[in-house]
Structure 1
Amino acid sequence: MQVDEYLHRIGAVRPARPDLEGLRHLQERHVLTVPFENLGYHLDEEIHLGGRVVDKIVRQRRGGGCYETNPAFGMLLTALGYDVEILPGRVFRPDGLGPPYCHLALRVSVGGVPWLVDTGFGRNSRRPLRLDDPGPQPDPHGVFHVRDGEVTCDGRPLYRVEDRPARLDDFRPTLWWWRTCPDSPFLQDVFCSLPTDGGRATLRGRRLTVDGVATELTDDAAVFAAYRKYFGIDLDRLPRDPVARAAGVILDDAPGSRP
């Protein structure tokens, strides 16, 4: 029943067998329907690594970061008969390669061929990428390369995954850092993003960008409506805006903003 609910949530058809065609279909549907978002970090919600995140994605119709969407998607793939492993990764930042275990991706083996599956990076591919092919891999989101675990898109380095698989519990220390450290990017910005037919829809605080066109939303009602229209998310309160708080603007007493 839970598998059927998950498939319905992402608008996917159950594969007849755990083959590559089914994997491509499932990843594409997941990427196009489950937002890359960090709202929970600013709504005082707990961030889970285990099965409880499936309920968040399926029944609450929310999204999340890589620690949430990829393990949940991995559970779905495992239930459908796929061979799934968790791979730790390091993200490329302006000042160099980030620390270990700051990214979580999946390795899915189909017929002995290893595929990189990622639904939680924001700029990830829409379809699986071969881990053993260093050549160009065209995708609706760009031209990707995977060389010695390093993933690039249109020549821009994104992250590097290790070859040795990890356990979900291995990510708990870094999840604590993402969740509590003032330097955590997830605490410095509120964002929600989802690909569209013409590009991408992204809401950062009150700035909505749809297919390259940006709009400043002037009131809470417009923000609630944007979450609903572009991401399918119904909120009963808005996440706190860390940018405004850092600038000394107090929003906690604004309608819809109180925790």
Structure 2
Amino acid sequence: MFRLDSYAQRIGYAGPFTPTLDVLRDICRAHALSVPFESLDALESRLVLEDDLLFAKVVADRRGGACFENHTLFHRVLREIGFDVSFLGAYMWRPHHGEYSRVFAHMLLKVRLKEADWLVDVSFSHDTFIEPVPHTYGEFEQRGWDFRIAAAPGVEGGEGVEGDCDVVERRGADGQWVPLYKFGGEPRRVGEFQECLDYLSGPDSRSQIMNTLICARTLPEGKLTVINDLLITARPGEESVRRLRNVEEASAFLDLIFEGHAPLSARARRIWRERFAQDGDRAAAEPPRPAAAAEKPAAPNAPAVAASDW
């Protein structure tokens, strides 16, 4: 089932298929800007990390996926082109808990080119680098944002990583460095991530990640993310987090996140309405979706943002 030409058409890539840094950079950027991050399947079915199933989902059916799905598919793409690529497991920073996840909650890739290692991350719920970066310590800039890779202590109680990790951080609009995730340099097997998915969705897990609606779109200079009933907007020097107030507003932003993916938008709007709409909104038929949602006063220090602004 897997075809590179079909994948290239899906992400709008028209360049060569040769294992060079320029090709890697162009394909990474095209995938990140074309394939939305979404957790819809995680809410309603079991995620399965098999190449043919993921190709059918993302390419043939023009859907999105979570990081494990996107990077498993992208790993296959890079192998088909001829890259030396491996999986890396990462522990996500949980800001509300002040700690990292205890099992792998993120997957990224490592590509070796001319004896140098490059990190690849084309699918993440929050804003991160979307073009490959060398696996070296220091700061770098992409799309108007500052990032850095630094040495960090290992994850206490974490599964699968021995010793120290490296951490990826992003400088926020307030100038402070915020961790995104820690990762170990040891190559992992895709089956290890399947085990994490099965555990996180199982009855013994206290994690909410597999029961959380996450929809995100990477833009050339920003990121739009809906996490349950929260809207997170990020542009260089400008970030906000606030609650979506009603079905109409949620629909406007979900339509924007899933622009060009109408079935995904309809499914996300249905899930949002079932889970988060107030009784009056849920009882009424879904209202027409205007170009810009009407704005009401937002919470202090969280400026209102209309879909038309994006």
Matched residue SS, 1:240: helix
**1:199 aligns with one of 197, 207, 222:** 222
**2:262 aligns with one of 234, 238, 246:** 234
**2:117 aligns with one of 114, 117, 140:** 114
Partner of 1:45: 45
Q: Cα–Cα, structure 1 residues 242 and 70, in superposed 2: closer, same or farther, change >3 Å? A: farther
Shift of 1:216: 4.4
Structure 1 stretch displaced more, 172-181 or 117-126: 172-181
2:201 is the alignment partner of 1:179: yes
Q: Cα–Cα, structure 1 residues 50 and 93, in superposed 2: closer, same or farther, change >3 Å? A: same
CA contact (8 A) 2:48 2:194 kept: no
Matched residue SS, 1:87: strand
Distance 1:184 1:206 in 2: 14
Partner of 1:138: 141
Residue-pair matches, total = 250
Instruction: After TM superposition, list the pairs within 5 Å mapping 1:22-33 onto structure 2.
Output: 22-33=23-34
Distance 2:40 2:283 in 1: 18
Partner of 1:35: 36
Shift of 1:91: 1.4
Structure 1 stretch displaced more, 14-23 or 200-209: 200-209
CA contact (8 A) 1:87 1:164 kept: yes
Partner of 1:151: 168
Q: Deviations over 1:141-161 (max 9, x none)?
A: 622212242111122111111
Q: Larger Rg: 1 or 2?
A: 2
Q: Cα–Cα, structure 1 residues 207 and 91, in superposed 2: closer, same or farther, change >3 Å? A: closer
Shift of 1:8: 0.9
**1:124 aligns with one of 128, 133, 140:** 128
Partner of 2:162: none
Q: Cα–Cα, structure 1 residues 205 and 100, in superposed 2: closer, same or farther, change >3 Å? A: closer
1:153 aligned partner, one-letter code: R
Distance 1:244 1:199 in 2: 27
TM-score, normalisation: structure 1: 0.82
Matched residue SS, 1:183: coil
TM-score, normalisation: structure 2: 0.70
Q: Cα–Cα, structure 1 residues 254 and 191, in superposed 2: closer, same or farther, change >3 Å? A: farther
CA contact (8 A) 2:170 2:178 kept: yes
Q: Deviations over 1:171-212 (max 9, x none)?
A: 22210133344532231x312111224522334456666666
**2:192 aligns with one of 153, 170, 173:** 170
Shift of 1:66: 1.4
2:183 is the alignment partner of 1:161: yes
CA contact (8 A) 1:190 1:242 kept: no
Gaps of 5+ in 1: none
Matched residue SS, 2:23: helix
Q: Cα–Cα, structure 1 residues 135 and 204, in superposed 2: closer, same or farther, change >3 Å? A: closer
CA contact (8 A) 2:246 2:281 kept: no
Instruction: After TM superposition, list the pairs within 5 Å mapping 1:45-84 onto structure 2.
Output: 45-51=45-51, 52-84=53-85
2:129 aligned partner, one-letter code: S
Q: More relative contact order in 1 or in 2 (CA 8 Å, sep 6+)? A: 1
